């Protein structure tokens, strides 16, 4: 697989009516998938090696990103979701790779900017339910 442009990653949020609104192209991002481990080691474990209980730990997804809002409406939607404490559906489009989708809650939101540049936002999203991944064909 050839290298991909990070600038093509898209962040989309549910519009509440069955569609999605593109918030931004992300300039810097990270998607982290985690699964907690459940230690099932006992006195009967072979040679005292740790044993893990497969599939028993909680799974989480965390998405962090930094970018520029597409427009005032997308900025307003992000703020409204944050202040209401909602966990709407989100999509993270990774070109030539796939789409990560599910309910996420905004855990951190900040804005910054240089006096001679555009205003940027930073966001951290934490999974709040089932997360799916659909590979690109």
What CATH number is associated with residue 18? 2.30.110.20
Asked if residue 34 is part of any domain, the answer here is: no
Which two three-digit tokens encode residue 8?
A: 């093509």
Asked if residue 98 is part of any domain, the answer here is: yes
Question: Which residue range is the domain that position 105 belongs to?
Answer: 6-28+61-135
Asked if residue 101 is part of any domain, the answer here is: yes
pTM of this structure = 0.82
Q: Based on the structure, what is the number of domains in the chain?
A: 1
pLDDT tens digits, one per residue of 80-114: 999 999 999 999 988 888 999 999 999 999 988 88
How high is the pLDDT of residue 65? 86
């Amino acid at each position: 697989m050839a290298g991909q442009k990070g600038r093509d990653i898209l962040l989309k949020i549910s519009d509440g009516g069955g569609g999605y609104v593109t918030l931004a192209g992300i300039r810097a991002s990270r998607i982290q998938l985690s699964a907690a481990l459940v230690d099932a080691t006992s006195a009967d474990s072979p040679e005292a090696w740790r044993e893990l209980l497969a599939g028993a730990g909680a799974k989480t997804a965390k998405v962090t990103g930094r970018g520029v809002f597409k427009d005032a409406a997308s900025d307003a939607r992000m703020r409204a979701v944050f202040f209401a404490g909602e966990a709407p559906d989100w999509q993270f489009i990774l070109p030539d790779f796939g789409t990560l989708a599910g309910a996420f809650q905004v855990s951190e939101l900040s804005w910054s900017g240089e006096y001679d540049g555009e205003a940027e936002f930073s966001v951290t999203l934490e999974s709040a339910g089932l997360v799916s991944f659909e590979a690109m064909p």
